[in-house]
């Protein structure tokens, strides 16, 4: 069975069609450097360090295995800690909505949060 899917929604659709779909999620915080277009002021940096809160999903459908990643939130490493924790809460709320969609499609998985 060749599966050419690349979104969580694709696997939810398969599960709703009656396929036995199993999922695992691995959560991570990835730091990347984002290039910034020069601004009107001299104090604009040309690069900033940002973090991405990513859910890396692995789906099993019969003998096929596919991986899909989704960014749940991003922010600057220079932001205050309270902003970071607000972003974590937002990411977890978004993750919880995806988990509910997976459950509604009768998928089995373990819930994890950032």
Give the pLDDT of the chain (114 residues) as one tens digit per residue. 445 568 999 999 999 999 999 999 999 999 999 877 666 556 666 788 999 999 999 999 988 899 999 999 999 999 999 999 999 999 999 999 999 999 999 998 999 999
- Residue 3, in any domain of the structure: no
**Position 109 in a domain:** no
User: pLDDT value at position 96?
Assistant: 98
List the domain range (segments joined by +) for residue 46. 8-104
Predicted local distance difference test score (pLDDT) of residue 1: 44
14 assigned to some structural domain: yes
Q: Answer whether residue 111 is part of any domain.
A: no
Q: What is the pTM of this model?
A: 0.83
| Domain total of the chain | 1
Q: CA nearest 58: which of 114, 2, 113, 107? A: 107
What is the structure's pLDDT at 41?
56
Instruction: Give domain status of residue 29, yes or no.
Output: yes
């Amino acid at each position: 069975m060749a599966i050419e899917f690349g979104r969580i929604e694709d696997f939810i659709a398969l599960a709703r069609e009656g396929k036995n779909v199993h999922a695992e999620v691995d959560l991570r915080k990835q730091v990347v450097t984002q290039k910034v277009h020069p601004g009107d002021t001299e104090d604009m940096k040309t690069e900033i360090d940002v973090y991405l809160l990513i859910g890396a999903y692995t789906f099993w459908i019969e003998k096929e295995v596919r991986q899909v990643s989704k960014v749940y939130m991003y922010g600057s490493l220079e932001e205050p800690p309270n902003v970071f924790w607000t972003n974590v809460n937002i990411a977890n709320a978004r993750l919880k909505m995806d988990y509910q969609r997976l459950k509604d499609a009768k998928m089995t998985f373990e819930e994890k949060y950032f």
